Structure 1
Amino acid sequence: MASLHRRSFWKNVPENATITIKAGKRIATWKDNRGTRKTAEVIDRNGKDQIRVSGKTWFAKYRDSQDIVREVSTGCKDRQAAQSILNDLVSRAERVRARILTEDEDRVSDRLIEPFGQHFDAYLDYHNAKGTSESHVNGIRVRIDRMVRECEIKRLIDVTQERIERWLSDEAKAGKSPRTRNSYLQALQGFCNWAIDTNRLAINPVSKIAKADERSDKRRQRRALTTDEINRLLFVAKHRPLAEFGRETKRVDNPQGRRTWTKEPLTFDSLPTALDRAREALKDNPDFIEELERRGEERELIYKTLLMTGLRRGELASITVGQVNLDSETPTIELASRDEKSRQDASIPLRADLADELRRWIDRRRAVRLTLNHTTMDAEALFDVPRQLVKVLDRDLAAAGIPKVDSRGRQLDVHAMRHTFGTHLSKAGVSPRAAQAAMRHSKIDLTMNVYTDPQLLDIAGAVNSLPSFDSAQFHQPAAATGTNGVEDFPPNFPLATAKTSPELSVSVQSENPGDSVRTQKNPENKAFSGVLESDADGTRTRNHWIDSQTRPTCKTLENKGPNGDGEPTIHQTFHSLLQKTSPKQLAAAILDVWAPDQIRELLTSLNESLD
């Protein structure tokens, strides 16, 4: 049978209590902090007078779905509220027995009413145990704490899609960028996914909230440095620490306070002059000059290492002297997994010139620290990287005459050096897969689309490297006229009549370019229409001249030739043409012009002439 009760505990008799005896029992009477009169029986426990006091929170006792007696806290100080929770627990147990709910769903229901902070503390412990970086854990804590506070989330069940979407909408109206809003949403989604894995949630209530489009409103877009800008920046970084002490003074135009002068800002052109003035001004303090020069060399090396390795600022700051391997065939920097963003060991290859500069830098540091042994030196940081390196970079950019923000709104910061590294890899023709490995990216689109600046790539040169495409190199195909490619073949075969002798007049183009044969053309070409000197008037009309018994044959003309009384015979004419053109072209032209009966007659005549 389900029931409610308050747990009791023992405590010492209050100092202001009065003990009286009633019905043989000792009764303590006192007033609490609110002035309410309290009474309780005094019991001697282990030689001490104590009283039994009931707690304020109601506990529920019931049988769960497996018929096991459970005793849980309702978290309520009001009995009616506690009774409502007890009724819910009993109802859930009955639904599980009836297989309306699963045991997992029932178990999740228990966790939904627990305080949100209890779940969130467990989530942070999970990240710390997993080895998540401290900065990432702090970012999660700050973002979720703010959302919980402003959304008034008390319990896990209070995390709803509607509530979070309303908060994100308010953030957008307040001017927060899409990337910032997405970072909050991503932190909460990660927490909810963990809650599902640990049976605290059945579904992710914020999984269907769409992320804001970061491309449409990108507040911080980085660009890559050009080669000339890199050289100018390295020159300024090396000499500016000393040149700062050689700046000229100038009067303030409208002084607001007691100060009436200020220093002229350094420029790239004035830097050499400022260096000379600084050395002259500090000539009595050579140690300080040496320290400023060392500081400039270190800053130049910091920039150069970032630009030529793609390391992040935090990763470079974690590098120790012992992690720089300069004695192998390929010099490398060994990045520990605890310091790498993806928590994986990485071996960063070094260019030979950068490796030589790092070797000289380490040797000079060892020479200064003669009292330190080799092991201690290996544990020291390679560079003293300022936490606010971006502020130092801004001053170096200004002195080098490099705009921090270009005309397109893209800006330069410390992380832009990593963009520069990726861009110059692509510009040098490095394959995308090799560039991805050098950048240590898990996805190649991140390397190509985010960390590659298309403004520095030779797009025009890439387009000009395409092969030329020209259809003019091919001759235009001739129409299918049946002449099998013959361009000019007006054959004129007026058959022999009583008045004329057989004559073959053709104009052909041979298979070899430029080799053509042209015979005498008749003044009137009747071959195409099939008009003959007879009463027939069509190419398909039966020609009575062909059937004439008086038509001369090839044999009657075989003795006539250029030197005889008549004109060339058909056999002689064909023999002359065959010496200058191919039989294939000649036959194609005959088939295209002559009627079938005329071709048969011609072949018969040729056959007779060969007998």
Structure 2
Amino acid sequence: MAHVHKQTFTKAIPTGAERVTIKGRACVRWRGRTKNWQVGELIPDKPGRCRIESSKWYVTYFDPSVNDTRTVPGYADRAATDALMVTLVRTAERVDAGVLPKEAARPRLTLPELLDRWHRYVRHSGASEDGARRQWRRAQDVCDGLKVTRVSELTPTTVLDWIGTQRVSGGRAPKGKQGKGISSGTAANYIGAIKSFTRWCALVERCEAVDHLSALVKSRDPADLRHVRRALMPVELDRLLSAAQGSTEVIYGLTGTERHALYLVACSTGLRATELSRLEPEHVDVTKNTVTVWRPAKTKTRPADVLPLDADVLKVLKPLLKGRGPLWPNRGKPTQAWWRVGARLVRHDLAAADLPAKDAQGRVFDFHSLRGQFGTDLDRAGVSLVRAQKLMRHSTPDLTAKYYMRPESVEMAADVAKLKRGRKGENRAS
């Protein structure tokens, strides 16, 4: 016989809980996160723990497709859970009578359960752990912001309305204050995550008949760039490297010598912060002057890239090759790992070198700017665009030229001056 019930579980008695007696039973109560009273029954044989009921109701019924009872989660509202029980029992009876196929008796997963399954699917498909977690968090934020309980409630219009609200007042902000709004790039990332989730529901999990967000278009506004990066002039780069090398401070677990080697390798190979964090001594071949970069299985290019290393850079790197494990390990909290706070790391040495983190035009120089520094210096050295693309491991030369080659205005003015326009007898470029 089908019935509705609540599940019970035990937990440690919260600090500050007061003992009360309810219907002759010894209990404790405390204020939860919502400031409402929560009650738990004391367990005689387990001191310090109490038994509490789940916030939502559950349905237990007989499923003929598996010839056994099945328990599925319901809702916090008892009436809604009763209605769910009636639907499940009616479907089970129709399956037992042969009116519906056995697949129809499979209980529908809740939205949080679908998000968790999608997160595991993305992770096992080859995405990095951080990348899969970011995708899951973005899709979760959209669903929470729209307060939907089913995938079918997601529509392009409602998602775009929520994105529009976030563009005005969303984003990071101190507690109790309103955000300044997310950029178009962040908005596109949110749209991409929720579209990936609904596509997975329709094509992989097959819990939805159609992809409800197939008409939603992801786009970016090229004019809305919140972090326009710049490249340093050669003299400025030398000052940054010298400031790090001569520093006696330990910043985010890295000494001055380690930071000097880190910056030098980053601007000489174009490696990203996460790729540098995974480098170990066996990845560096001192005989061939190369470094091997292993990337996640789901990558735009090859899973392993072999890049050339300059001999002078290798000399600086050799002292770090004597140990084991990562060349630049995390020696602090996981949230304060240097590759997560790379902008703050570089900012310390920029200040020591008397260089601004943000110039008069509002362009910033952070850790990822070292990758752009590599592309810009290749351009300054006269390296062809195709070779620069291969060295930076980009999919197209357009990406390299558009985002990672950043000549300064004085350099472009010098290039124009080479034409020698306006000089008598020298009106043609030589």
TM-score greater than 0.5 by the shorter chain: yes
Kept in 2: contact 1:313–1:415 (CA 8 A) = yes
| Percentage of matched positions with identical amino acids | 27
TM-superposed CA distance for 1:389, in Å, is: 3.6
The answer to whether residue 136 in structure 2 is matched with residue 178 in structure 1 is no
The answer to whether residue 397 in structure 2 is matched with residue 439 in structure 1 is no
Distance 2:388 2:295 in 1: 20
Kept in 1: contact 2:371–2:404 (CA 8 A) = yes
TM-superposed CA distance for 1:318, in Å, is: 1.0
Give the equivalent residue in structure 2 for 1:135.
130
Structure (1 or 2) with the larger CA radius of gyration = 1
TM-superposed CA distance for 1:85, in Å, is: 9.1
TM-superposed CA distance for 1:356, in Å, is: 2.6
Which stretch shifts more, 296-305 or 202-211? 202-211
Kept in 1: contact 2:59–2:71 (CA 8 A) = no
CA separation of 1:171 and 1:444: change in aligned 2, threshold 3 A: same
Helix, strand or coil at the partner of 2:382: coil
1:195 aligns with one of 173, 192, 201: 201
Distance 1:442 1:89 in 2: 55
Give the equivalent residue in structure 1 for 2:362.
409
The two structures have a TM-score, normalised by structure 1, of 0.49
Distance 1:354 1:83 in 2: 69
Q: For residues 273-301 of structure 1, what are the alpha-carbon distances to aligned partners after superposition, in whole Å with 9 as ceiling and x for unaligned?
A: xxxxxxxxxxxxxxxxxxx9x93222211
Give the equivalent residue in structure 2 for 1:233.
240
TM-superposed CA distance for 1:208, in Å, is: 2.6
Distance 1:430 1:110 in 2: 63
Kept in 2: contact 1:422–1:452 (CA 8 A) = yes
Helix, strand or coil at the partner of 2:163: helix
Give the equivalent residue in structure 1 for 2:222.
215
TM-superposed CA distance for 1:443, in Å, is: 2.6
CA separation of 1:457 and 1:309: change in aligned 2, threshold 3 A: farther
Kept in 2: contact 1:334–1:346 (CA 8 A) = yes
Distance 1:423 1:311 in 2: 14
Distance 1:214 1:112 in 2: 42
CA separation of 1:242 and 1:189: change in aligned 2, threshold 3 A: closer
Structure of greater relative contact order (alpha carbons < 8 Å, 6+ residues apart): 2
Q: For residues 313-368 of structure 1, what are the alpha-carbon distances to aligned partners after superposition, in whole Å with 9 as ceiling and x for unaligned?
A: 1111211111110112xx11111234996471011111122123323x24xx74xx
Kept in 2: contact 1:182–1:212 (CA 8 A) = yes
Give the equivalent residue in structure 1 for 2:406.
453
CA separation of 1:79 and 1:461: change in aligned 2, threshold 3 A: closer
Kept in 2: contact 1:306–1:418 (CA 8 A) = yes
Helix, strand or coil at the partner of 1:335: strand
Kept in 1: contact 2:91–2:105 (CA 8 A) = no
Letter in 2 for 1:197: L
Letter in 2 for 1:82: V
Give the equivalent residue in structure 2 for 1:382.
327
What is the aligned length? 342
Q: For residues 5-47 of structure 1, what are the alpha-carbon distances to aligned partners after superposition, in whole Å with 9 as ceiling and x for unaligned?
A: 6379xxxxxxxxxxxxxxxxxxxxxx9x9xxxxxxxxxxxxxx
Distance 2:292 2:91 in 1: 62
Structure 2 runs not aligned, ≥5 long: 5-22, 26-57, 75-79, 170-180, 331-337, 426-430
Structure 1 runs not aligned, ≥5 long: 9-30, 34-54, 63-68, 97-102, 245-291, 367-376, 473-611
Kept in 1: contact 2:388–2:400 (CA 8 A) = yes
Q: For residues 530-573 of structure 1, what are the alpha-carbon distances to aligned partners after superposition, in whole Å with 9 as ceiling and x for unaligned?
A: xxxxxxxxxxxxxxxxxxxxxxxxxxxxxxxxxxxxxxxxxxxx
Kept in 1: contact 2:167–2:182 (CA 8 A) = yes
TM-superposed CA distance for 1:146, in Å, is: 2.0
Distance 2:222 2:107 in 1: 37
TM-superposed CA distance for 1:112, in Å, is: 10
Helix, strand or coil at the partner of 2:248: helix
TM-superposed CA distance for 1:384, in Å, is: 4.1
Q: How does 1:391-430 map to 2 (within 5 A)?
A: 391-430=344-383
Q: For residues 458-481 of structure 1, what are the alpha-carbon distances to aligned partners after superposition, in whole Å with 9 as ceiling and x for unaligned?
A: 43455566799xxx9xxxxxxxxx
CA separation of 1:210 and 1:314: change in aligned 2, threshold 3 A: same
Distance 2:203 2:227 in 1: 35
Distance 2:165 2:283 in 1: 47
Kept in 2: contact 1:111–1:200 (CA 8 A) = no
Kept in 2: contact 1:113–1:155 (CA 8 A) = no
Kept in 1: contact 2:167–2:183 (CA 8 A) = yes
Kept in 2: contact 1:397–1:404 (CA 8 A) = yes
**RMSD over aligned Cα, in angstroms?**
4.3
Give the equivalent residue in structure 1 for 2:86.
82
Distance 1:243 1:185 in 2: 40
The two structures have a TM-score, normalised by structure 2, of 0.67
2:291 aligns with one of 328, 333, 341: 333
Distance 1:412 1:455 in 2: 14
Q: For residues 369-425 of structure 1, what are the alpha-carbon distances to aligned partners after superposition, in whole Å with 9 as ceiling and x for unaligned?
A: xxxxxxxx4x43223463434323112111212111112211010000001111111
Letter in 2 for 1:452: M
Letter in 1 for 2:287: D
Which stretch shifts more, 192-201 or 176-185? 192-201
Q: How does 1:65-80 map to 2 (within 5 A)?
A: 77-78=81-82
Give the equivalent residue in structure 2 for 1:126.
121
The answer to whether residue 310 in structure 2 is matched with residue 351 in structure 1 is yes
Helix, strand or coil at the partner of 1:445: helix
Give the equivalent residue in structure 2 for 1:6.
2
CA separation of 1:89 and 1:206: change in aligned 2, threshold 3 A: farther
Distance 2:417 2:202 in 1: 55
Helix, strand or coil at the partner of 1:78: helix
CA separation of 1:162 and 1:407: change in aligned 2, threshold 3 A: same
The answer to whether residue 95 in structure 2 is matched with residue 114 in structure 1 is no
Q: For residues 578-600 of structure 1, what are the alpha-carbon distances to aligned partners after superposition, in whole Å with 9 as ceiling and x for unaligned?
A: xxxxxxxxxxxxxxxxxxxxxxx
Helix, strand or coil at the partner of 1:203: coil
Helix, strand or coil at the partner of 2:327: coil
1:305 aligns with one of 238, 258, 265: 265
Distance 2:249 2:110 in 1: 58
CA separation of 1:324 and 1:117: change in aligned 2, threshold 3 A: same
CA separation of 1:358 and 1:162: change in aligned 2, threshold 3 A: same
